[in-house]
Amino acid sequence: MQFCIKWAALFGRLKTDIQSIRAQIPALASCTYLNCGTFGPTPTIVADEAVRLTRLIETKGPYDRDVNDEILGLFEHSRRDFAKYVGASPDEIALTRNVSDGINIVASGFDWSPGDEVIITNEEHPSGSLPFLNLAERYGIQVKLLKFQTNVEQLIADLDTLLSDKTKLVFLSHVSTVDGARLPAKEVGEFLKPKNIPYMLDGAHAVGQFPVSMKDLGCDFYAGCGHKWLLCQQGTGFLYVANDWITRLKTSWVGWGMTEDYDLDSLSYTSLKTAQRFEFGTRYWATHASAVKALEFHNNIGPENIYTRSHDLANQLKRRLVDIPGITVKTPMNRMDSTGIVCFSTSGLNHPEPGNWLWKNHRILTAHNPVTKSMRIAAAFYLLEDEIDLLADKLSELA
């Protein structure tokens, strides 16, 4: 508790004390880390925990009873932590490797027939669109594209025109990976609920950026991960399956660990009645076990503090970028519709690959796509105002 108060107080004086938070994330000293949208940098307490558990496995053996109990205990601890973080019950959480896993579990959990329809947005990440394009190829389902937009009335009106009696799932990104805009996801949930149309969100860029609540969003499925904005280790995904869907969503991959009963003589089995029925087989449980420390780190700073600071940094960057010739900001400028992600077109800059140039010359790590000529910056809470200015200054040199 004392620790929490200390951190909350630190955030109050963040301009001077951000350094003490940064000192606990060593990668921040080696570069300007503007890409936690792909992988978040690891705090020392998280890496230490992962190393500690790996050493336990090394020195005592992975199936030593104590080691096994401790690691599996922490694995379940992380399930409870993720559940609490997103306002769900632990029974509604399957621990996965990544966001893509969660999307695939749901996409393959329906009995598809030719002509069934799925609605996705026109700004999905490949991991959000490929599972459905694959279903189109295999089962002849139809994928319909909804324009990603932040205007609630227009979004709902467009969605309404796409719905039909064949719509089997609506799958939308909570935050667009293309422009960092934030979907009015709760309003979509309110619209779909009375229609009984299953609703899934891709929370890759929402979880850890701003507080999310499953019940509030009204979605049936939500795929998220710890390895981006929550600063967990790679391989820490989770899938929320709303209670009333746990036994209705079909399991496509099965194996030990997902049953209550299993009897080969009678060729029968009964799956668990929790979202654990979507997990099976051996995994490196220590990875999720170390997520407990990452959530502790995050919660000690405070989700609201993190959200506010990240937004402020994103706004600082947007204000600088609009003045740079050759750059077009794609992310909405207003706070309600945006997040800590800032996306912009670099097509007017005098360099074909500004992402490489920033990295090679200035050790500024961004996500740049040379094909679409767009750059994505994750203005995460741990950054300094000076780092945001440094990026803007360097981009100005290419204008």
Ligand X SMILES: Cc1ncc(COP(=O)(O)O)c(C=O)c1O
Q: Which residues bind ligand X (CB under 6 A)?
A: 38, 98-100, 125, 127-128, 173, 177, 202, 204-205, 225, 237
Task: Compare residues 209 and 300 and give the one whose CB is closer to ligand X.
Answer: 209
User: How is residue 193 annotated by DSSP?
Assistant: G
Spatial distance between the Cα atoms of 375 and 13, rounded to a whole number of angstroms: 31
CB of 339 to ligand X, least distance (A): 12
Q: Which is nearer to ligand X, 121 or 346 (CB)?
A: 121
Give whichever of 22 and 125 is closer to ligand X, judged by the CB atom: 125
Q: How near is the Cβ of 145 to ligand X at its closest, in Å?
A: 16
C-alpha span between 372 and 169 (Å, rounded): 29
Q: How far apart are the first and last CA of the chain?
A: 49
Answer whether 145's CB lies under 8 Å from 94's CB.
no
Cβ–Cβ < 8 Å for 219, 200: yes
CA angle 21-27-29, nearest 5°? Answer: 75
Nearer to ligand X, 79 or 205 (CB): 205
Closest to ligand X by CB, 78 or 173: 173
- For ligand X, the closer of residues 99 and 219 by Cβ is 99
Helices 285-301 and 65-85 pack at an angle, to 10 degrees, of 40
Shorter beta-carbon distance to ligand X: residue 7 or 229? 229
Q: Least distance to ligand X from the beta carbon of 268, Å? A: 34
Looking up tokens 């190393």 gives 51
CB of 109 to ligand X, least distance (A): 17
Q: How far is the CB of 124 from ligand X (least distance, A)?
A: 7
Using CA atoms, how far apart are residues 258 and 247, in angstroms rounded to an integer?
12
Nearest approach in angstroms of CB 188 to ligand X is: 16
Pairing of strands 93-96, 237-241: antiparallel
In angstroms, what is the minimal distance from the CB of 212 to ligand X? 14
Give the three-class secondary structure for 196.
Answer: coil
Q: What span, in angstroms and rounded, lies between the C-alpha atoms of 380 and 378? A: 5
Query: In the numeric block, which tokens belong to residue 344?
Result: 């912009």
Least distance (Å) from ligand X to the CB of residue 197?
Answer: 21
| Shortest Å distance, C-beta 37 to ligand X | 6
Rounded CA gap, 190 and 391, in Å?
40
Whichever of 205 and 318 has its CB closer to ligand X, that residue is 205
Cβ closer to ligand X: 125 or 362? 125
C-alpha dist (Å) from residue 200 to 121, 293, 326: 12, 28, 37
Select from 235, 269, 237 the least CA-distant residue to 106. 237
**Cβ-based nearer residue to ligand X, 183 or 324:** 183
Closest distance to ligand X from the beta carbon of 67 (Å): 27
Radius of gyration for the alpha carbons in the chain, expressed in angstroms and rounded:
22
DSSP readout, 240-265? EE-GGGTTTSPPSS--TTSEEEEETT
Place of tokens 């966001």: 99
